Amino acid sequence: MDILKGLNDAQREAVETTSGPLLILAGAGSGKTKTLTHRIAYLIQEKNIGPEEILAVTFTNKAAKEMRTRLGEILGMRADSFSFMPWMGTFHGICVRILRLKGYAIGVENNFVIYDETDRRTLIKNIIRDLKIDEKQTKPAAVSAAISNAKNQLLSAEDYALSANWGFEQRVAQIYEEYEIRRRKANALDFDDLLMETVRLLRDNKDIRAFWQDKFKHILIDEYQDTNAAQYAIVKMLVASERNICVVGDDWQSIYSWRGADFTNILNFERDFPGTKVIKLEQNYRSTQSILNAAHNVIMKNKQRTDKKLFTKIGEGEAVKLQEARDEDDEAFKIAAQIFSYKSVGARNFADFAILYRTNAQSQSFEKALLRYQIPYKIVGGTRFYDRKEIKDTLAYLRAIYNPLDTIAFQRIINVPARSVGKVSEERFFNWQSQNGMDIISSLLMCNELTTLPSRARDALVNLGEILRAAQIMNEGSANPADIIDFILSKTGYTGSEKLLESEQIDRNENLSVMISEAKTYADLASYLEDAALLSSSDTSAEDDQITLMTLHAAKGLEFPVVFLAGMEEGLFPHSRVYSSGPEELEEERRLCYVGMTRAKQELILSFAASRAQFGQRSYNAPSRFITDAELELEQFNEDFSISGATDEPFIDEYVDNFYNDEPQIQVGDRVRSAAFGDGEIIDIEGMAVEVKFDRGGSKKLNAEFARLEKI
């Protein structure tokens, strides 16, 4: 087989350059996997390099398997043979093999076991208990993340302790030290140890380092922009004096700094290896030129980057579209309607579409809209909104208030957040309640009579009863469901009850704020619970033809014919934290935007909303600066919006709500439109509570102040 067949000029040059350091800057959709695979085949077939003398590092086992299969096809060899490319795999996989063979030099026995994340957290939990550290203040998940981050920065327990400046870090230092003692005693390595111990092995043993340098005549590293400090150190120490190292990556697609990746590794490659040849893969095989141009315009606004210009022979294609919506529901229903229309006329399958967004919480409005249109969907890398723990917990509280006989709801919340009610106490309470003839809230309030319970459990249950009774009174007084939710979260201390990772806490808070905003649109708890139940129980189908919902981070490496990039507003995308974090954070947000845009093959639609419910309040944010960066046609915006002159400074929102009046200018018999439920007729009005009979079936009691009903 002609190994060079089917390669463009740049790819061919990358394949044939086999001596010295080589940096391949591979733009999105430029065929980097193909180039890497053909380069390995060329080394084996044309340069007579033994497969065992080549080290090829990928970032996922899936990528390694794909590359191995392709390579076997090119060379006509069995890809599943152990002798065929034995040193192809992830950093962790390669390090396991190195340590099994040579780890004895640093005291690592070759029969070590590998702890996964569950194992690590279990050990940390045991240590927290044994050291009598309060688990409520020091969660195993947070400690595990801190230790992992330290190891990826090559910080030992002793190093970490020296830099621990505040309470949590000092507790982590104590746990980290004990964790290392117990781990070594168990002859175990966690995933971070695989890297860290390999660094130590190569750094401290000159002869062993020379052995591996001599063994690997050629080293190839994929996704080099995603390497962390430990991986970077391993690469540098494995390179022999001939410096036959080839790295492939795209600094424009570096979006994982939050998990330790350092994209400056690729920017500094030429400094680390003087005389590096740089080859740019700029021909894109995925997207139309209009999509590439818009994405290019965005990334050019970053200061820390390499230079390249992607082009395609696919053609100009359709212009990138901008879509304006009144609010998040309107945005979701407009997108759902477009997808439904495409499918109805046979122009597209559902699987052709992806909806990408910045935060997980944004999925709620899209899930609701897709369910209304009966469009099947899947969420990649996430959980359906109404299946998320914090949402199910809060709904259980609401159900318990609405129906104090709902035992299932009470079983979910009786110890959430933790309130010292053990399984035995829980069982005794429910047995007593079922015998006394009272509902559960009344039983909670009378719990002091249950002397078989420990005093702490009795006190906790009485307190829970008082909270629920107060919320029950609010409901009886026609309080808005959102106010009830806010009361429950506040009085139970739910949001601060667990020490979560920062990213997990942000996600949880954002999800709860979306829930509160959604609840505000309903006039009473009954209506809200009814809809929530219907949405949570809806079958979204397991068929193959379904659209994809995912965050921008989860979308990397994927592609779709049509991509909707939603929520293009300041404070959402870019995320609000860039305002206090500095230019590095903003540049990563811009790279994330570039990644999202280049997932699209044929059509790309960006959308923004004039108003959006955030953190329980309705905000009016300016359209994202990334829209300006893209240099899209401004006339596609409503004239009320101006995005010209966007800078890298925080936007000051001067937009005044002129879409809606505070008072509903409607009466019984009027036809109205709801972004969430469609068109309908008003059948009753009581204050701000408006009952609407919708054309799609059923009637709902809505809060006119927040439901944003539009008279038609």
**Which residues face 618 on adjacent strands?**
613
Q: Is 213 a catalytic residue?
A: no
How far is the CA of 150 from the CAs of 131, 193, 196, 466, 666, in angstroms?
21, 11, 10, 45, 60
User: DSSP labels for 185-201?
Assistant: HTTEEEHHHHHHHHHHH
Q: What is the C-alpha to C-alpha distance for residues 188 and 127, in angstroms, rounded to an integer?
A: 16
Apex CA 368: angle with CA 606 and CA 357, to 5°?
30
CA atoms within 13 A on the CB side of 384: 18
Q: What is the C-alpha to C-alpha distance for residues 693 and 678, in angstroms, rounded to an integer?
A: 10
Q: Which of 12, 32, 151, 591 is catalytic?
A: 32
End-to-end, the C-alpha distance of the chain in Å comes to: 67
Mapped onto helix, strand or coil, the DSSP state of residue 608 is strand
Q: Which of 58, 227, 253, 472 is catalytic?
A: 253
Q: What is the C-alpha to C-alpha distance for residues 106 and 95, in angstroms, rounded to an integer?
A: 14
Q: What is the C-alpha to C-alpha distance for residues 392 and 398, in angstroms, rounded to an integer?
A: 10
Q: Is 223 a catalytic residue?
A: yes
Name the strand (E) or helix (H) holding 563. strand 560-565
Go through 484-505 and write b for each residue having 16 or more CB atoms within 10 A of its CB, e for each that does not.
bbbbbbeebebeeebbbeeeee
Residue 520 burial by Cβ neighbours in a 10 Å radius (0-12, 13-18, 19+): buried
Q: Which residue has the tokens 């068109």?
A: 679
Q: Which residue has the tokens 């492939």?
A: 248
H helices present in 7-156, as ranges: 9-16, 32-45, 61-75, 91-102, 117-130, 140-152
Q: Is the dihedral of CA 253, 259, 264, 265 positive or negative?
A: negative
Q: Which of 120, 183, 343, 599 is catalytic?
A: 599
Q: Which of 192, 193, 222, 691 is catalytic?
A: 222
Q: Is 301 a catalytic residue?
A: no
Q: Which of 17, 18, 33, 407 is catalytic?
A: 33
Residue 480 amino acid letter:
N
Go through 220-230 and write b for each residue having 16 or more CB atoms within 10 A of its CB, e for each that does not.
bbbbbbbbbbb
Sheet containing strand 245-249, strands side by side: 88-90, 54-58, 218-221, 245-249, 22-26, 277-281
Q: What is the C-alpha to C-alpha distance for residues 281 and 390, in angstroms, rounded to an integer?
A: 45
Residues in the chain: 712
If we measure between CA atoms, which residue out of 76, 70, 72, 75 comes closest to residue 33? 70
Q: Is 492 a catalytic residue?
A: no
Per the CB < 8 A criterion, the answer to whether 643 and 622 are in contact is yes
Please count the other Cβ atoms lying within 10 Å of the Cβ belonging to residue 208.
19
Taking the CA atoms of the chain, what radius of gyration do you get in angstroms? 29
How far is the CA of 329 from the CAs of 324, 395, 638, 678, in angstroms?
12, 21, 18, 11
Q: Which of 190, 193, 223, 569 is catalytic?
A: 223
Q: Is 614 a catalytic residue?
A: no
**Structure tokens given for 80:** 């599943």
Residues marked active site are found at 32-33, 222-223, 253, 599
